[in-house]
Amino acid sequence: LEATMAQSQKMQAVGQLAGGIAHDFNNVLTAIIMSSDLLLTNHRASDPSFADIMNIKQNANRAASLVRQLLAFSRRQTLRPEVLDLTDVIADVRMLLTRLAGTQVNLKIEHGRDLWPVRADLGQFEQVVVNLTVNARDAMPEGGDLTIRTRNIGESESAALNYRDLLPGDYVLVEVQDSGTGMPPEVIEKIFEPFFTTKEVGKGTGLGLSMVYGIIKQTGGSIHCESELGKGTTFRIFLPRHVEAPVLNAAGEVVAVEAPK
Ligand code: ADP
């Protein structure tokens, strides 16, 4: 699956919107929540208006939570990349992922040997794995298997893969596979679009995967989704291998990179 230009433009627009108005919008929502709180203290629970005021407050809270996610979404624009060993990074979030996945889900982590380093923002990469884990859990309401695999993909192997946005080169592959519901093609087509969700109101915002997509693109990587209804879903993330000692010109541009040993 290849995300289109229109999708990334939409994502940029959402990022700008978030940065621009989310903060002011949050103040408006705070005023609504405070006023409804005040009203609630002046009404008895038996009052016919009580349930309506409660409803106003709950929905304002829901909107505030959406705004928080929008703010997080716009903040991803400032990445602080560092050289990471994904074996360590995934080991460090294992407990969190286990808790997020819940007791019904059997989480397995399988690392390839001598994983190459990558250059990525630690917090953002963790966010990617967290979002994919939450989606996998939601796709397995009765439980199932969630497997996270990493391995090196050499130049010849990546060249043989037929992904339009993946240039031949060395990559670290992170695979997140679930045995959940899977998706029909018309859903797969839209999953990376901001606000696309099949979850009920209040459960999903449709921002998780567009965030994931934006982070991976900004890291110079690519992401692909393979899914089969009733069988499960696999997300594959390719992050470029980090090579030491880039040679810079006076303008600070990379003009050459030392061949990896
Ligand atoms: P949200 O989770 O808030 O709906 P996302 O952008 O994370 O937003 O996901 C968009 C949609 O993609 C989900 O509503 C769901 O339909 C689908 N989806 C994502 N991950 C999976 C998965 N692992 N299995 C099945 N469907 C998925």
Q: Is 196's C-beta closer than 6 angstroms to any atom of ligand 1?
A: yes
pLDDT at 206: 87
Report the predicted TM-score, pTM, of the whole model to 2 decimal places.
Answer: 0.75
Cβ of 179 less than 6 Å from ligand 1: no
Reported as a single tens digit per residue, the pLDDT across 6-52 is 666 666 666 666 666 777 788 889 899 999 999 999 888 899 899 99
Percent of the chain exceeding pLDDT 90 equals 61
The two structure tokens encoding residue 145: 């298997």
191: CA distance to ligand 1 center in Å? Answer: 6
Task: Measure the CA–CA gap between 236 and 247, rounded to whole angstroms.
Answer: 31
Buried b / exposed e across 199-236, counting CB within 10 Å, b at 16+? eeeeebbbbbbbbbbbbbbebebbbbbebeeeebbbbb
* CA of 40 relative to ligand 1 center, distance in Å: 36
Predicted-complex ipTM score? 0.98
Token pair recorded at residue 1? 């699956």
Q: Taking each helix axis from N to C terminus, what angle separates 50-75 and 208-218, rounded to the nearest 10 degrees?
A: 10
The rounded distance, in Å, linking the Cα atoms of 33 and 129 is: 33
Q: Is 110 helix (H, G, I), strand (E, B) or coil?
A: strand
For 131-177, write each residue's pLDDT tens digit. Answer: 999 999 999 999 999 999 999 999 999 999 988 889 999 999 999 99
Pocket mutation for ligand 1, best pick of 135, 228, 235 (most atoms within 8 Å of C-beta): 135
For ligand 1, the distance from its centroid to the CA atom of residue 189, given in whole angstroms, is: 11
Most confident of 122-126, 145-149, 247-251: 145-149
Q: Which atom of ligand 1 is nearest to the CA of 192?
A: 6
Rounded distance between C-alpha atoms, residue 78 and residue 107, angstroms: 31
**pLDDT by residue (tens digit) across 96-114?**
999 999 999 999 999 999 9
Among 105, 148, 209, residue to substitute to test ligand 1 (most atoms within 8 Å of Cβ): 209
Instruction: Grade residue 260 by pLDDT with cuts at 50, 70 and 90.
Output: very low
pLDDT: is 260 or 237 the higher one? 237
- The mean of the pLDDT values for the chain is 87
pLDDT for 74-90, tens place per residue? 665 567 899 999 999 99
Q: pLDDT tier at 188 (50, 70, 90 boundaries)?
A: very high
Give strand ranges (E) for 16-61.
none
pLDDT for 60: 92
Nearest to 180 by CA among 235, 143, 133, 128: 143
User: What pLDDT, on a 0 to 100 scale, did the predictor assign at position 26?
Assistant: 81
* Residue 231 in contact with ligand 1 by CB distance below 6 A: no
**pLDDT at residue 69 above 80?**
no
The pLDDT value given to residue 137 = 96
